[in-house]
Amino acid sequence: MISKTMQDAINEQINKELFSAYLYLSMATYFEDKNLPGFAHWMTLQAQEEQEHAMKFYAFLNDRGGRVLLKAIDAPQTEWKASMEVFKEVLAHEQLVTASINALYELALKEKDYPAQFMLQWFISEQVEEEKNASDIISQLELIDAHGTAVLMLDKQLGKRSED
């Protein structure tokens, strides 16, 4: 059985993961509006991945005898000045998620909740990948901005992201 403290924290994380999905879907619509379907595709897959993360927490909580309590999801931002601003927000958002996952892990240590510690290891590794992906795209956009070319090439590359 999971503690109420851990259950409440995981419910908060479920909300954060669902907000992340909502945010990335908003970014996808922004890119669709800018006629960058590859960027939109990348964000759509990112939104789906965040929904999967929420469902991992959902299943974990149910498996441990806890109760999922869904809360309202805040409205995400809908407008940005440029692609670079969007991806800088992606990185900042992923850094917030990383901090949240780390805090959950610290709580699991304090609560001596070994199953939660084990499950959270997957998310800790996942966040390294999430931050790296955003950083890599920012680096590519910086190169594009410096040379003023290749936005459409990057759009096509992002459009090739597969559903892993």
Q: What's the 3-state SS for 12-66?
A: HHHHHHHHHHHHHHHHHHHHHHCCCHHHHHHHHHHHHHHHHHHHHHHHHHHHCCC
77 in any annotated domain: no
Q: Give a yes or no: residue 74 inside a domain.
A: no
Please report, for the domain that includes residue 106, its CATH number: 1.20.1260.10
Domain membership of residue 93 (yes or no) is: yes
What is the residue-averaged pLDDT of the chain? 94
Domain, as residue range, for 136: 4-69+82-159
What is the distance between the alpha carbons of residues 65 and 88, in angstroms, rounded to a whole number?
38
Does residue 137 lie within any of the structural domains?
yes
Low-confidence ranges of the chain (pLDDT < 50): none
Please report whether residue 104 resides in a domain.
Answer: yes
Q: How many domains are there within the chain?
A: 1
What pTM value is reported for the model? 0.90
pLDDT score for 154: 75
Q: Is residue 17 in a domain? A: yes
Is 150 within a domain? yes
pLDDT in the model for residue 68: 98
